[in-house]
């Protein structure tokens, strides 16, 4: 048998294939550059939107921040007044751990002295706390010797139980019947 000797030249075919691949790569690079520019522009637009929202948020809450600063300054002024024996008594209901609302106490501050009264839900403890609160308030009011006393009741209503607030309000009411008191409540949501 005789072999057919057909000689096929692959060089021109290979040249055509390489030229086509070159054109495809050039077109892909152009598309990638366009895609990159579009993504960059979209990202810059998103950044501008987020920055505008941040500025709007800051503007919206600027009044609240100013209010909190002024309340903090007023509270600091009251603390300084306590150290100077000005006839101011601060009563705070403190919840040190937001996760454990059963652990809380009443702090009574006057004349740079602080009294802490622990609170829980047992009836004997609550009765003992009410008696101690009234006793401490009466003692501080009588020892101050001023004609008019200022009592500031400070609390965070989001972390306070109604029963605790009622206990302090009752103690203040009892002291108000026997003494000249100016009472203010300050709800500070921290």
Residue 6 has pLDDT above 70, yes or no: no
CATH number of the domain residue 128 falls in:
3.30.420
Torsion sign, CA atoms 142, 143, 146, 150: negative
Task: Answer whether residue 36 is part of any domain.
Answer: yes
Give the number of residues written for the chain. 190
Write out pLDDT tens, residues 136-173. 888 887 777 655 677 888 777 777 777 888 888 888 88
pLDDT exceeding 90 applies to what percent of the chain? Answer: 5
Same-domain status, 101 and 138: yes
Mean pLDDT of the chain: 78
Task: Answer whether residue 171 is part of any domain.
Answer: yes
Q: 77 exposed, middle or buried (CB, 10 Å; 0-12, 13-18, 19+)?
A: exposed
Which of 92, 88, 61 minimizes the C-alpha distance to 150? 88
Same-domain status, 100 and 180: yes
pTM for the model stands at 0.51
Cα–Cα separations (whole angstroms), residue 30 to 19, 22, 23, 26? 17, 13, 11, 6
Centroid of chain to Cα 60: 16
What the block records as the tokens of 168 is: 């302090």
Q: How far apart are CA 42 and CA 59, in angstroms?
A: 26
Same-domain status, 110 and 174: yes
Expressed as residue numbers, the domain containing 147 is 85-187
Write out pLDDT tens, residues 47-100. 999 999 988 888 888 888 888 888 888 777 766 655 555 677 888 887 777 777
Domain count, the chain: 2
Same-domain status, 102 and 157: yes
Which of 173, 172, 135, 146 minimizes the C-alpha distance to 82? 146
Same-domain status, 155 and 124: yes
Same-domain status, 172 and 121: yes
Beta-carbon count within 10 A of 76 CB:
10
Q: For the stretch 132-143, what's the b/e string if a residue is b when 16 or more beta carbons lie within 10 angstroms of its beta carbon? A: bbbebbeebbee
Torsion sign, CA atoms 40, 46, 47, 52: positive
């Amino acid at each position: 048998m005789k072999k057919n000797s057909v000689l096929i030249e692959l060089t021109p075919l290979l040249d055509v294939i390489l030229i086509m691949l070159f054109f495809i790569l050039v077109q892909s690079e152009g598309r990638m550059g366009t895609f990159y520019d579009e993504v960059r522009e979209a990202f810059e637009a998103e950044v501008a939107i987020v920055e505008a929202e941040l500025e709007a948020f800051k503007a919206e809450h600027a009044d609240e921040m100013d209010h909190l600063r002024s309340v903090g300054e007023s509270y600091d002024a009251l603390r300084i007044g306590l150290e100077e024996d000005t006839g101011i008594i601060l009563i705070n209901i403190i919840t040190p751990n937001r996760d454990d609302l059963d652990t809380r106490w009443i702090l009574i501050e006057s004349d740079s002295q602080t009294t802490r009264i622990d609170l829980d839900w047992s009836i004997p403890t609550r009765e003992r706390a009410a008696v101690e609160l009234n006793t401490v308030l009466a003692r501080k009011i009588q020892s101050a010797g001023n004609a008019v006393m200022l009592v500031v009741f400070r609390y965070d209503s989001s972390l306070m139980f109604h029963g605790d607030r009622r206990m302090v309000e009752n103690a203040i009411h009892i002291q108000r019947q026997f003494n000249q008191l100016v009472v203010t409540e300050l709800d500070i949501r921290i």
